[in-house]
Chains A and B, each alone.
Chain A
């Protein structure tokens, strides 16, 4: 019994979790947990503050890595074998359809959650000083997510994949000067062919995931260094000057100064007796709980809920697989993946303006947000203008995607979804 205890102790190397010291050591002696602080603010963990969207996105990414590696065991990135492998995954491989469904719904879910996470961070003003650059990293993570989804879209090598990527990469070729060359570099040829499939595969399973992992590490690290999740708007302190008293309790006269909101204080030394200055107000201290179990339980529940949702969806909703890619026959209408349908809608009006200028401006504007919006207040009533602008941006994107997805029929004609077109315009 003693030996077992000794072995266990040699693994965890901490005090019992029934003590505060043990709870702290669990966090900071463990390489996987030490990205957390030992204690967290209770209010910051409220679901209605963050909706846990960052966590959900991260967990979806974990699902994508696991199911993706599993799918790689049965996939050859080479036409037409790629398509045959998809058929095998669909009809022969044990649990093949389930894994493929999970991969697909997690991928779509990640696009959605990354976007919603961005909205949450915007609406709570959490990109403001000192978190400006972490917002920029977040925008790049959004772009990488779209890139991962787009490269993955080609891999089944069916009609859907082939034409979505043909249309999608042609949009890119409208970029002035370099557009055509970039497209050729991406495709490894003049049209979507076997070279393109291999390149998209390499991007999808090696290059882009590595970049996402690298940026995610930086993203998390900076959140932690900036004091964890942002303070919920409803807990922001009133804007008044707080006075604190500094000085020895007995002999000298106490000194009253303005409390700094920009400085943080660390523990410099430990002395016995009454404290001579305070770093944390009593109210704040009461508001703080240990990460174990309060934060960890919430994360574990979020993980389980995310996995369960994706699993249930994968039981009932099948990822589409159309016929083998046929360069000669364009389906009518040919559509890009849904998150690019807003872009395709713009492109249907003007290829250069809609396909290059508008998206480039959108990305630049997103990156620049924390540097343009210099208003320090995070309170909604101080930010009416920006909130309206961002809402218009979000709604415009959604409307375009909905039009492209549901209201565009054969020949890209406006067809409401409740009208059924037979056969197309042939």
Chain B
């Protein structure tokens, strides 16, 4: 390799590397630009009211939060997600068989959220529920807990 070829090759390599990295960085910037830095969505952790607001027996469905709040006389509070794990439809809890039914593709979840029927790939989520300092119940959707989790008040 003579001097001329050497320089041609090196400049070519440097140029190509610069071009490729410029394109790469630009693409990464575009993807990052499209990922919102702020979500104007309902918060993932929120308060749902005092324990006295929830009657025993049938779960209460919170529309905005898409959760079912169970209040058992002996065991206490538990909170289930109402979002079907298949394709995100809102499941309905039937008092008659105490199961969750999805209207979209017919998935059925047992009382503990486990899949009994249909295409759902996994059980319904259960969320952590705690008692906040002001006496209200606080649900955190970021914290998934086992279906046996209960909050005794």
> Which residues of A does B touch, CB under 8 Å?
163, 166-167, 170-171, 184-185, 188-191, 193-195, 327-334, 344, 347-352, 410-413, 424-426
Kindly state the separation between the CA atoms of A167 and B103 in the bound complex, as whole angstroms: 11
B30-58 interface (Cβ within 8 A of A): 31, 34-36, 39-41
The answer to whether the Cβ of B1 comes within 8 Å of any Cβ in the partner chain is no
Kindly state the separation between the CA atoms of A331 and B121 in the bound complex, as whole angstroms: 21
B105 x A348 contact (CB < 8 A): yes
The answer to whether the Cβ of B12 comes within 8 Å of any Cβ in the partner chain is no
B119 x A348 contact (CB < 8 A): yes
Sample of 5 more A-B contacts, CB < 8 Å, known A327-B66, A412-B104: A167-B104, A191-B41, A328-B90, A348-B118, A410-B103
Query: B41 contacts which of A170, A189, A330, A332 (Cβ < 8 Å)?
Result: A189
**Shortest CB–CB separation between residue B63 and chain A, in angstroms?**
4
Given known A167-B88, A330-B89, contact A189–B103 (CB-CB < 8 A): no
Kindly state the separation between the CA atoms of A191 and B87 in the bound complex, as whole angstroms: 11
Residues from chain A with Cβ under 8 Å of B88 in the complex: 166-167, 170, 191
B59-116 interface (Cβ within 8 A of A): 63-64, 66, 86-90, 92, 101-106
Query: A329 contacts which of B35, B90, B105, B121 (Cβ < 8 Å)?
Result: B90
B1-51 interface (Cβ within 8 A of A): 31, 34-36, 39-41
Given known A328-B66, A334-B104, A412-B106, contact A171–B119 (CB-CB < 8 A): no
Question: What are the 6 A-B residue pairs with the smallest beta carbon separation, nearest first?
Answer: A332-B103, A328-B63, A170-B87, A412-B106, A348-B105, A330-B89
Query: B36 contacts which of A163, A171, A195, A327 (Cβ < 8 Å)?
Result: A195
Query: A184 contacts which of B35, B63, B64 (Cβ < 8 Å)?
Result: B35
Kindly state the separation between the CA atoms of A363 and B139 in the bound complex, as whole angstroms: 43
B92 x A412 contact (CB < 8 A): no
Kindly state the separation between the CA atoms of A350 and B119 in the bound complex, as whole angstroms: 6
What residue of chain B has the Cβ atom nearest to residue A199's Cβ? B34
> Which residues of B does A touch, CB under 8 Å?
31, 34-36, 39-41, 63-64, 66, 86-90, 92, 101-106, 118-119, 121
A351 x B87 contact (CB < 8 A): yes
Kindly state the separation between the CA atoms of A329 and B64 in the bound complex, as whole angstroms: 10
B41 x A166 contact (CB < 8 A): no
Given known A328-B63, A348-B119, contact A411–B101 (CB-CB < 8 A): yes
B41 x A426 contact (CB < 8 A): no
Given known A195-B36, A411-B101, contact A330–B106 (CB-CB < 8 A): no
Kindly state the separation between the CA atoms of A163 and B102 in the bound complex, as whole angstroms: 13
Residues from chain B with Cβ under 8 Å of A163 in the complex: 89, 104
A411 x B103 contact (CB < 8 A): yes
A334 x B34 contact (CB < 8 A): no
**Shortest CB–CB separation between residue B21 and chain A, in angstroms?**
22
A194 x B89 contact (CB < 8 A): no
A413 x B106 contact (CB < 8 A): yes
What residue of chain B has the Cβ atom nearest to residue A350's Cβ? B119
Name 6 interchain pairs, CB-CB below 8 A, sorted by A.
A189-B39, A191-B88, A328-B66, A330-B90, A332-B104, A352-B121
What residue of chain B has the Cβ atom nearest to residue A335's Cβ? B104
Residues from chain A with Cβ under 8 Å of B36 in the complex: 188-189, 195
Kindly state the separation between the CA atoms of A332 and B101 in the bound complex, as whole angstroms: 11
B106 x A411 contact (CB < 8 A): yes
